[in-house]
Amino acid sequence: MGFEFGVIDSRAFGCARQCKEQYLPSISQEVPWLSPLLYAEISRMTSPASASDPVRFAYVGCGFVGQTIHIPNFASLPNCRFLALAEVRPELGREVAARYGISKVYRSHEEIAADPDIEAVGVSGPYSLQGKIAEDLLRAGKHVFMEKPMAVSMRRAESMLEVVRNGSARLMVGYMKRYDTGNLLLKKHLEAWRASGECGRLLFARNHGFCGNWLYGGDPNVPFSQSSAPQPPAPDECPDWLPADRRPSYLGFLQQWTHNINLLRFFLGDDGGKTRLVQAHLDPDGMTGLTVLEINGTRAVIESGMTKFDGWDEHTQIYFEGGWLKTSAPPLVQKEIPASVEIYRSNHDGCPASIVQELPTPSWSYREEAKHFLACIRSGEAFRSSAEDTLNDVRIFEDIYRQVTASR
Ligand SMILES: NC(=O)c1ccc[n+]([C@@H]2O[C@H](COP(=O)([O-])OP(=O)(O)OC[C@H]3O[C@@H](n4cnc5c(N)ncnc54)[C@H](O)[C@@H]3O)[C@@H](O)[C@H]2O)c1
């Protein structure tokens, strides 16, 4: 629809300022008791937030991830003022809002985009639709935290990034593994080894991502409401060149292993455009196999497999000449359990060989990413998983499937 939310937001702001400058003086004379209230409200609308103000927040999508992860997490954080929810299935939206004492319930993200009270929005929608939802919100001037993937095509991702570059709103993508305290500990050691050269040359990186049951160890007490109302169909936003019969497996591969590639890029220091596809070799299911990448000058392999294992089978290992660093992912929704970290050093300079397990600070990566989003909104600091960075993941997945499709 030809609706410019950014225009509405700035018009609301403009009206408030005009009211303050032109009309408030005469209201003060005619209705003296009203003017302090109006003055306070208009000042709130026209003043920039201070560093200690809670972020005026809303959330789009009361599906599984919204209800079991992000809505409870954001609602629990003291610097989040949770003002509104949007859900296309309105009864579901009302039920979830009542649970967390959220006062406004909207039927779609478009109503959130038009609400001048809201400055930042979390989004978890169907993966082919959430890029468009985020883009509409960014156009309206709202900062956005969204679930991965940012987009399922470069066309959408580039359009989103253009809105970010030309506007005032910022976009963070929910790659929660970058906020896991175990992964951060590994990265600290990795950077120290690279800087000092103490373990020799960085040789190789490997991510083993065989999945399993991602809900293993989840909290059974988190309330969850179901809805029998159908969801509206999500648009097909896959790349134009991708044949129709490859679209389901492309979406499956992208939505799962985007985490693994994004994490390897983080560890190896690809801060933009330093990753190249060497070779993808996938089974006819389009997901199981090997993907070889070159990331910031280091060869890296993703071992992908969709298993029926009970827990979560994923680890990442970074090899140097004189040792390795390894992080093993926890089951994703198990709270307060970060990735575990092991460090192997070979026998050198008279020191005996050792394998040490280091214990990271207990944390839940999804809550850490929510904290990071709110803190960066106020501080202006760059997001650790920004839209600019994430565009690279979208590009790599198009490259992988271009190659897989061509070699059929
Ligand atoms: N980071 C992770 O570990 C992780 C894990 C699972 C899923 N995800 C991502 O989370 C996203 C959501 O997954 P899910 O399982 O919660 O999906 P879901 O289908 O359960 O939930 C999506 C919700 O959005 C609502 N919705 C759709 N369009 C809307 C609109 N325009 N306005 C308001 N509401 C709208 C739907 O009615 C539904 O309730 C996916 O993109 C997926 O990739 C991430």
> Which residue lies with its CA nearest to atom 24 of ligand 1?
61
Per-residue model confidence (pLDDT) at position 200: 96
Give the residue, out of 135, 231, 259, with the most ligand 1 atoms within 8 A of its beta carbon, to mutate for a pocket test: 231
Does CATH number 3.30.360.10 belong to domain 178-370+388-406? yes
CA 106 to ligand 1: nearest atom: 33
CA 127 to ligand 1: nearest atom: 41
22-31, 92-101, 136-145, 353-362: which range is least confident on average? 22-31
CA 149 to ligand 1: nearest atom: 43
Per-residue model confidence (pLDDT) at position 33: 62
Domain extent listing, the chain: 5-175, 178-370+388-406
> Which residue lies with its CA nearest to atom 9 of ligand 1?
147
Distance 66 CA to ligand 1 centre (A): 7
Distance 46 CA to ligand 1 centre (A): 33
Give yes or no on whether 5-175 and 178-370+388-406 have one common fold: no
Higher pLDDT among residues 81 and 217, named by residue? 81
From the CA atom positions of the chain, what is the Rg in Å?
A: 24
Grade residue 14 by pLDDT with cuts at 50, 70 and 90. Answer: very low
Q: Give the domain 5-175 fold.
A: Rossmann fold (3.40.50)
pLDDT, tens digit (0-9, with 9 covering 90-100), for 356-401: 999 999 999 999 999 999 999 999 999 999 999 999 999 999 999 9
Whether omega before 36 lies within 30 degrees of 0, making that bond cis, reads no
Go through 72-111 and write b for each residue having 16 or more CB atoms within 10 A of its CB, e for each that does not.
bbbbebebbbbbbbbbbbeebbbbbbeebebebbbebbbe
Q: What percent of the chain has pLDDT over 70?
A: 88
Please give the average per-residue pLDDT across 100-114, as a whole number. 97
- Please choose, from the candidates 388, 394, 385, the residue with its C-alpha nearest in 3D space to the C-alpha of residue 179: 385
Residue 169 scores a pLDDT above 80: yes
* Beta-bridge partners for 354: 345
Per-residue model confidence (pLDDT) at position 4: 38
pLDDT, tens digit (0-9, with 9 covering 90-100), for 50-86: 888 999 999 999 999 999 999 999 999 999 999 999 9
pTM of the model: 0.90
Distance 330 CA to ligand 1 centre (A): 22
Distance 396 CA to ligand 1 centre (A): 23
